Chain A
Amino acid sequence: MPIVLACVAGLLAVSALSLPLLRHRAATAAVYSACLAISLVLCAAAVLSIGQADSETVLPLGLPWLGAHIRLDPLAYAFLAIVNFGAASASLYAIGYGRHEAEPARVLPFYPAFLAAMNLVVIADDAYSFLFAWELMSLASWALVMARHHAAKTAYAGLVYLIMASFGTFALLFAFGLLAGAHGDYAFDAIRAHHLSPGLAGLALVLAVVGAGSKAGLVPLHVWLPLAHPAAPSHVSALMSGVMTKVAIYAFIRVTFDLMGAPAWWWSLPALLLGGATAAIGVLYALMETDLKRVLAYSTIENVGIIFIAIGLALAFKASGLPGAAALALTAALFHSLNHMLFKSTLFFGAGSVIVATGEQDMERLGGLIHRMPISSAAFLAASMAISALPPFNGFASEWLIFQSILVSPQLPRMGLKLLVPAVGVLLALAAALAAACFVRAFGATYLGRPRTTAAGEAREADRWSLAAMLTCATLCLLTGLFPGIVIDWLQPAVTVLVAGQMPPQAAIPWLSIVPISASRSSYNGFLLFAFVAVSASFAAVVVHRFASRMVRKAPFWDCGYPGLGVVAQYSATSLAQPIRRVFATVAFAAHEQAEMPPPGDLRPASLRRFLRDPVWHFMYAPVASAVGASATLLNHVQFFTIRRYLSFVFVALIVLLVVLALWG
């Protein structure tokens, strides 16, 4: 406990101390090194102490009669580890990457504050400090998004982010208000003791979904995410996508599993429905996008959907009195949160290095970088395979656990859930397959083929710090995929607290396999599969080279006899997605193409236009935005009245109020 508090205070101190040093040349390296060191300490402390007893304290800060309650329980430790590992790797990356920042003074003070705020959200134990930390997190990340305020899109992104963040905080505020009750105390202990009627619980649940979901990026509350995450510097994008969404997921888990008490079965419905929709639509959005960082941001939305599916399953199991199955699903959710932090950080680091090396982030203007940036491309490839849920990487291990928890859900007593869960399973499988398509496309268009611009052709490999961060995260993607049992066992204290059940201890399973419920059902062994594939591949290569041919001739590529076509004739990111666009997006996004072929003799160029309609924006936000605009225009007239009319308004208002008072009394 003292370590954690000291570290958070240290981060805030770094933030404050960075202010006078901003002009100094070494400021970037100093701030990020300090953040790296503090985050590593916090991460190590959290990893080591997850099994320990809860510790709480009240700091004399915040509201005078409430104080700031701080509590460290296994769930907080699990998320502290996730947050601080992500923070440490982002800081390591930024020691190198931050040197390329045009205006470091716009990033350095807010970065440690952002890290501190995320830690505070996780350890807060009363609604006031929670919301204060939550809002600090929003504002610090907003300031980081606005770091590159000169870009035209950034201001818009910042505006949308600010609106959605305030909206989400409002929802959480009301949720806590409901949870605390009319005479409630805002300390979480009091909230736990207070029980709500089903109607109020439902309202609080909806508010929690809106509040946490808007920060996590649940469809349809996701609109700010693909704007804001890519607008920030890349290490901050990695933090926002990989870590801040996890803090939002922490908030949802904390409210639904801990504060609201024993769940009813229908609590799982919003998480399952929205999670399934988010997973499938998020990755479809990603496939339509050509900006590399926006692709990654949309894929974050997809992964948040996957995590919410697992949370929904866990809620359903817990409510139905199946603690073993609930433990399985909740472990899957936490494990996938950890995994997503690892691979999404790697991917954003890779994207950041590409932007530093080429100045481009549109995949249509990249290509061929595997030759110029071999190490970072290997890390990006590993993370792409991990996020596509392919063995032996970690993404597969956690999705395997989710599939296994779907397979135990026929035990659920409710018919509604029985019909819903298979449909959610289809969406999950669809999302996994489309994610593979998405990352074949992202990796292929960015790193493979021939460079589409001279900038891409002259790229240079990233610096040592960035490479170290990327390789660390990519290696961990592999290691947690090879030995998932260690992570699962480590997570069990947190799971046990929340669902009063746990998965079978994986360390007891021979050969490092993992099993979901009991040994007889199913098992998976990532390490053995990896070893088999590695051995077979090397064996095949050795045998072929030894006993058959080992000769290589270099030649121009063949391309079925048309090698003379230029680099623009390569398949681009847009054309790679064309079949999927035609199959899926004609329904989801009303996608269509308009080809214009001038007749022979006409000298106009032929053109092909692509139209997509974002259904969420079109049907939900655009009407609200235009209504706000229209009412603002109407109210605009009020601004130009004469003083006499204003005075008469005041007079009428006064009379009306008095009449109302008189009638009331």
Chain B
Amino acid sequence: MGITSALAAQFGQMLLVLALAPALTGLTRKMKARLQRRIGPPIFQPYRDLRRLFNKDVVLADNSSWLFRVAPYLIFAATWVAAALVPTFQTGLLFSWAGDLIAIVALLGAARFVQAVAALDTGTSFGGIGASREIMIAALAEPAMIMVVFTVALVAGSTQLSTIAAFMADTGGLRVSLAMALVALIIVALAENARIPVDNPSTHLEVTMVHEAMVLEYSGRHLAMIELAASLKLLLYISIIACIFFPFGLITDGAGLSAHAISLAAYLLKVTAASLLLATLETVIAKMRVFRVPNLLGVALMLGLLGTLLLFVSGGM
């Protein structure tokens, strides 16, 4: 296989996740609305929102610094690069060896760091409340995620996501630790993406919000970049869960055109299913109080640790 097709696969995937991410958000909102017996906005509403935001002026606070203006692009770029390292429908991407699963987690951590400091930049109390809660949630979600990475990496013998996906697709099978890792990963994904029960993506009530409080001062194209990054992050987590735990349909570099079509369809199917599950989950459970979130994340952390411990004790590898 030539370098051109590998490059095409890599960039094709980068564009695919970028194009697909708002639709995922729209789809989830639509399904949630239907489950609540509302009609809801069209699936493609997020695209229109983004276009509108992109074309609006930015209203900048007088006392904001360069950091505030640079942050949206950095957040977006870090999230996009992280998403580009996750196999969606094809493993063995050209640049996948540039960063493993730990690097993906850390890239998202870097995006969050930038987001939190940008929230503090204007010196408003809402930015502060959002940042302080976000760092508390991250302080538990990140170790839980690392433990999930450990579990998966010990099973597959690598932290490289492509290798893991290929391993799972080949030898798969049920393992207790993997089940624990899956539950932990889902909890972490909910927390990281500011979904119910950790945060409510559609609220603007000050006592409940985390992510929305951090981006409160943003407007126009800056807000659009952050919203797009948030959608990308949701798609990224769904892709990670899909490629580790449900790796069917994944192809490697060099498959035929029909195989590409099938694997792409399988990927879209997985994303749709995840979106439906997310909408159902968000409909049937209520948001938690902020200070009960650590209990939930603690469960994730312990599950991750247990999964890792089991693998260590059983000899691993």
Q: Using known A-B contacts A371-B65, A419-B312, A529-B81, determine if residue A537 contacts B58 with beta carbons closer than 8 Å.
A: no
- B8 CB within 8 Å of chain A: no
- B186 CB within 8 Å of chain A: no
Question: Which partner residue on chain A sits nearest B314 by CB separation?
Answer: A410
- Chain B 273-317 per-residue mask, 1 if CB under 8 angstroms from chain A, else 0: 000000000000000001100100000010001001101110111
Contact B74 A533 (CB under 8 A): yes
Tell which of A390, A511, A576 touches B132, judged by Cβ atoms closer than 8 Å: A576
Q: Complex: how many Å from CA A439 to CA B112?
A: 12
Contact A541 B73 (CB under 8 A): yes
Question: Which partner residue on chain B sits nearest A543 by CB separation?
Answer: B54
Contact B154 A448 (CB under 8 A): no
CB contact list, A359-392 vs B, under 8 A: 367-368, 370-371, 374, 381, 385, 388-391
Contact B123 A368 (CB under 8 A): yes
Residues of B within 8 A of A551 (CB): 57-58, 220
Contact B65 A448 (CB under 8 A): yes
Question: Which partner residue on chain A sits nearest B97 by CB separation?
Answer: A523
Q: Using known A-B contacts A410-B317, A540-B76, A576-B128, determine if residue A436 contacts B146 with beta carbons closer than 8 Å.
A: no
Contact B77 A540 (CB under 8 A): yes
- Chain B 140-175 per-residue mask, 1 if CB under 8 angstroms from chain A, else 0: 111100110010011001111001000000000000
Chain B binding site: helix, strand, loop or mixed by DSSP? helix
Contact A433 B150 (CB under 8 A): no
Tell which of B95, B312, B313 touches A528, judged by Cβ atoms closer than 8 Å: B95
Residues of B within 8 A of A406 (CB): 150
Contact B308 A425 (CB under 8 A): yes
Residues of B within 8 A of A425 (CB): 146-147, 150, 308
Chain A binding site: helix, strand, loop or mixed by DSSP? helix
Residues of B within 8 A of A367 (CB): 123
- A411 CB within 8 Å of chain B: yes
Task: Give the shortest distance, in Å, between A463 (CB) and chain B (any CB).
Answer: 22
- B267 CB within 8 Å of chain A: no
- A449 CB within 8 Å of chain B: yes
Contact A433 B116 (CB under 8 A): no
Task: Give the shortest distance, in Å, between A556 (CB) and chain B (any CB).
Answer: 6
Task: Give the shortest distance, in Å, between A533 (CB) and chain B (any CB).
Answer: 5
- A565 CB within 8 Å of chain B: yes
Which of B36-44, B101-109, B257-265 forms part of the interface with chain A?
B101-109
CB contact list, A405-422 vs B, under 8 A: 406-407, 409-411, 415, 418-419, 421-422
Residues of B within 8 A of A649 (CB): none
Contact B81 A536 (CB under 8 A): yes
Question: Which partner residue on chain B sits nearest A569 by CB separation?
Answer: B125
Residues of A within 8 A of B291 (CB): 579, 582-583
Q: Complex: how many Å from CA A396 to CA B80?
A: 19
Contact A415 B147 (CB under 8 A): no
Contact A556 B301 (CB under 8 A): no
Task: Give the shortest distance, in Å, between A199 (CB) and chain B (any CB).
Answer: 29
- A636 CB within 8 Å of chain B: no
Q: Complex: how many Å from CA A549 to CA B219?
A: 12
Q: Using known A-B contacts A407-B154, A433-B139, determine if residue A571 contacts B59 with beta carbons closer than 8 Å.
A: no
**Total interface residues on A, using CB and 8 Å?**
90
Chain B CB within 10 A, most for which of A511, A520, A552, A578: A552
- A644 CB within 8 Å of chain B: no
- A570 CB within 8 Å of chain B: yes
Q: Using known A-B contacts A391-B110, A440-B120, determine if residue A532 contacts B95 with beta carbons closer than 8 Å.
A: yes
- B78 CB within 8 Å of chain A: yes
Q: Using known A-B contacts A541-B73, A557-B217, A576-B131, determine if residue A371 contacts B317 with beta carbons closer than 8 Å.
A: no
- A620 CB within 8 Å of chain B: no
Q: Complex: how many Å from CA A407 to CA B139?
A: 21
Q: Complex: how many Å from CA A441 to CA B120?
A: 9
Residues of A within 8 A of B66 (CB): 370, 374
Contact B221 A548 (CB under 8 A): yes
Contact A533 B154 (CB under 8 A): no
Chain B CB within 10 A, most for which of A371, A436, A449, A522: A522
Residues of B within 8 A of A552 (CB): 57-58, 60
Residues of A within 8 A of B117 (CB): 381, 440, 443-444, 448
Contact B122 A390 (CB under 8 A): no
Task: Give the shortest distance, in Å, between B302 (CB) and chain A (any CB).
Answer: 9
Contact A433 B143 (CB under 8 A): yes
- A430 CB within 8 Å of chain B: yes
- A257 CB within 8 Å of chain B: no
A/B interface sample: 11 pairs, CB < 8 A: A381-B117, A432-B146, A433-B139, A439-B113, A524-B98, A529-B81, A551-B220, A559-B217, A560-B206, A576-B131, A580-B135
A404-B159, A437-B139 provided; 19 other pairs, C-beta below 8 A? A389-B109, A407-B159, A418-B313, A423-B305, A440-B116, A444-B131, A524-B100, A533-B74, A533-B77, A549-B55, A549-B56, A552-B58, A553-B59, A558-B59, A558-B124, A558-B217, A567-B123, A575-B132, A580-B135
- Chain B residues in the interface with A (C-beta under 8 A): 54-67, 73-74, 76-78, 80-81, 84, 95, 97-100, 102-103, 106-107, 109-110, 112-113, 116-117, 120-129, 131-133, 135-136, 138-143, 146-147, 150, 153-154, 157-160, 163, 204, 206, 216-217, 220-221, 224-225, 290-291, 294, 301, 305, 308-309, 311-313, 315-317
